[in-house]
């Protein structure tokens, strides 16, 4: 077998579409393949994803309307430079955008604001109004009830005439059932009017527009490698990561949070990676395992919650001022991960390859400061006494890609691959309502010289069906929408140079 001539074909196992659509917010796949190339090497790539994610209102939603495509297309670049600075030492700089999200709801559904939206479901509002009305009425003395009715009729209780009318009416109230019933009815009517006025004012504070999210991260990794023998490569390094983004929640699905905005100013954090690779060049065998640490970001999230005053409606007026004045940072921790890569020659000019990736999404959550404080105040209503998160996932992600690459001529090679992703749990957040996928991919590589190549690829994704739930529903069976039969297309282009 001419396995030593597989140099260009081996590159095909890492076309830039490898991680274009994955569970939760996983994007790039965080490949280490460029660093593990022989000699000095440079590559740059660009991947584009065009998903279609549609659904219907379902579960706890009172309406069952269609939800149009809410997944926006996006692109992300990558680049790598690897230098063999000595026989046994190498250094590399890797750039990618590992995690992200981009989505926007449109149309007429529970994720888009409507003039008929209410701060809470109408039946819940009716219950609250009824209880507050009764509690307020029960807390009034006979004199207060009489005074309220007379004042509503324009009687000035500070004048002698007003005082006399008050005394006479109070006596009638205490001694005549008909008068008492009439006055009580007037008092209740006044209380109901004030409560309904307050609810209408709060409903008027609900957000306008649609639910949307955009989160971007960037990684810059400095990697040092030591090759004690021709077969082994032990490597590790530091990772600098930035994160920025914004989230806007709109529509009846988010009730009290309808109008909530969170803006995450770009901030950086440090992490690390470590790994080892083993290769036998004569048979084109290469295996590697890479661990990447989680990375903490302490960020000041600018939050806007125009409906904060609604807490007074729920009986906790003191919390409104405390939450409004609260300051502090929110910790966002991007997840740890492990990549296992393997490839080997299986016949002349042909390699088989596989990648297995694990990402610890189960321990990932975002709870902005004020969002979390409000969630703790209303947690009892939604059976979350400790509050709830803006975003969280219930399971870790596992993904597998396997395929075959073949060198056809000295300048042309191609590959075919199949992929599977477990997703990060179902139900899942409304900001990314899919659960894993299956995909198939095709790639081609053209090498105009022995030192250079241009590689391109395309993948088709069958996205997993998912039920979407808000943060207040996370951890339970409730959901607000159902997304089925969705798909995505990914395109990638990469150039490389050996020197």
pLDDT tens track for 113-142? 999 999 888 888 888 889 889 999 999 999
Same domain, 407 and 435: yes
- Which pLDDT belongs to residue 4? 46
What's the pLDDT at 20? 64
- pLDDT tier at 381 (50, 70, 90 boundaries)? confident
pLDDT, tens digit, 9 for 90 and up, residues 396-411: 999 999 999 999 999 9
* pLDDT tens, residue by residue, 469-496: 999 999 999 999 999 999 999 999 999 9
Give residue 194's domain range.
Answer: 128-199
CA 474/CA 376 separation, integer angstroms = 14
Q: Collapse the DSSP code of 165 into the 3-class scheme (helix H, G, I; strand E, B; otherwise coil) and give the result.
A: helix
Please report whether residue 115 resides in a domain: no
pLDDT of residue 177: 92
Tell me whether residue 402 is in a domain.
Answer: yes
Domain end marker among 157, 177, 199: 199
Query: Is the distance from CB of 19 to CB of 27 less than 8 angstroms?
Result: yes
The C-alpha R_g of the chain, in whole angstroms, comes to: 31
pLDDT for 22 equals: 72
N-terminal to C-terminal alpha carbon distance within the chain = 27
Asked whether residue 122 is domain-assigned, the answer is no
List, as own/partner pairs, every contact residues 322-328 make where C-beta atoms lie below 8 angstroms and the sequence separation is at least 24, other chains included: 322/373, 323/370, 323/373, 323/374, 323/377, 326/369, 326/370, 326/373, 327/369, 328/369
Whether the pLDDT of residue 2 is over 80: the answer is no
Residues 219 and 191 placed together within one structural domain of the fold: no
Instruction: Count up the domains in the chain and report the number.
Output: 2
CA distances from residue 331 to 25, 93, 187, 296, 305 in whole angstroms, order as listed:
17, 27, 50, 7, 20
Q: Residue 119 domain-assigned?
A: no
**Average of per-residue pLDDT values in the chain:** 92
- Say if residue 102 is in the same domain as residue 181: no
pLDDT > 70 fraction of the chain, expressed in percent and rounded: 96
The answer to whether position 170 is within a domain reads: yes
Give the end of a domain, one of 170, 199, 228: 199
Flag whether 117 is in a domain. Answer: no
- Cα gap 472→381, rounded to integer Å: 10
Indicate whether 156 and 258 sit together in one domain: no
Residue 276 belongs to domain with CATH number: 2.40.160.60
Mean pLDDT of 436-459: 94
pLDDT at 275 over 70: yes
Verify that 239 and 178 share a domain, yes or no. Answer: no
Tokens 């979390």, residue located: 372
**Position 316 confidence tier, pLDDT thresholds 50, 70, 90:** confident
Is the alpha carbon torsion for 183, 186, 191, 192 positive or negative? positive
How far, in Å, CA of 221 to CA of 477, rounded? 40
Over residues 64-77, the mean pLDDT reads 95
Confidence check: pLDDT of 215 > 90: yes
Element at 177 (helix H, strand E): helix 177-203
Residue finishing a domain among 141, 164, 199: 199
Q: Are residues 78 and 179 in the same domain?
A: no
Task: Give the whole-angstrom CA distance, residue 206 versus residue 79.
Answer: 44
Same domain, 259 and 144: no
């Amino acid at each position: 077998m001419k396995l030593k001539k597989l140099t260009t074909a081996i590159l095909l196992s890492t076309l830039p579409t490898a991680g274009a659509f994955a569970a939760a917010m996983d994007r790039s796949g965080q490949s280490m393949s460029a660093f593990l190339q022989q000699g000095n090497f440079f590559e740059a790539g660009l991947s584009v994803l065009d998903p279609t994610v549609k659904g219907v209102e379902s579960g706890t939603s009172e309406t069952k309307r269609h939800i149009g495509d809410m997944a926006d297309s996006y692109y992300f670049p990558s680049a790598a430079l690897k230098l063999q600075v000595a026989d046994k030492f190498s250094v590399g700089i890797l750039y990618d955008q590992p995690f992200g999200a981009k989505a926007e709801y449109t149309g007429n559904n529970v994720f888009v604001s409507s003039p008929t939206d209410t701060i809470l479901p109408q039946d819940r509002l009716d219950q609250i109004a009824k209880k507050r009305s009764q509690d307020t009425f029960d807390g009034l003395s006979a004199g207060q009830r009489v005074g309220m009715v007379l004042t509503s009729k324009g009687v000035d209780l500070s004048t002698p005439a007003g005082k006399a009318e008050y005394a006479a009416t109070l006596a009638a109230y205490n001694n005549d059932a008909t008068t008492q019933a009439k006055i009580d009815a007037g008092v209740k009517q006044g209380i109901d009017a004030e409560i309904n006025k307050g609810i209408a004012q709060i409903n008027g504070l609900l957000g306008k527009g649609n639910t949307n999210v955009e989160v971007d991260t960037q990684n810059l990794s400095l990697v040092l490698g030591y090759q004690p023998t021709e077969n082994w490569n032990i490597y590790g390094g530091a990772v600098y990561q930035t994160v920025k983004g914004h989230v806007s929640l709109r529509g009846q699905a988010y009730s009290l949070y309808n109008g909530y905005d969170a803006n995450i100013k770009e901030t950086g954090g440090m992490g690390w990676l470590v790994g080892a690779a083993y290769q036998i060049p004569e048979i084109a065998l290469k295996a590697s395992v890479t661990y990447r640490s989680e990375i903490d970001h302490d960020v000041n999230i600018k939050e806007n919650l125009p409906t904060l005053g609604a807490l007074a409606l729920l009986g906790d007026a003191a919390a409104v001022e405390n939450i409004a004045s609260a300051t502090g940072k929110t910790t966002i921790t991007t997840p740890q991960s492990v990549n296992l890569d393997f490839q080997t020659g299986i016949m002349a000019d042909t390699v088989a390859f596989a990648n297995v990736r694990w990402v610890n999404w189960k321990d990932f959550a975002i709870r902005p400061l004020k969002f979390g404080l409000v969630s703790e105040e209303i947690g009892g209503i939604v059976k979350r006494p400790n509050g709830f998160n803006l975003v969280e996932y219930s399971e870790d992600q596992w993904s597998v890609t396997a395929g075959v690459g073949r060198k056809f001529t000295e300048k042309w090679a191609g590959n075919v691959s199949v992929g599977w992703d477990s997703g990060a749990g179902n139900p899942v957040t409304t900001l990314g309502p899919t659960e894993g996928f299956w995909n198939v991919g095709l790639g081609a590589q053209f090498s105009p010289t022995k030192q250079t190549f241009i590689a391109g690829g395309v993948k088709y994704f069958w996205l997993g069906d998912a039920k979407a739930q808000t943060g207040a529903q996370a951890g339970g069976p409730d959901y607000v929408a159902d997304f089925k039969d969705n798909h995505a297309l990914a395109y990638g282009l990469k150039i490389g140079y050996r020197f």
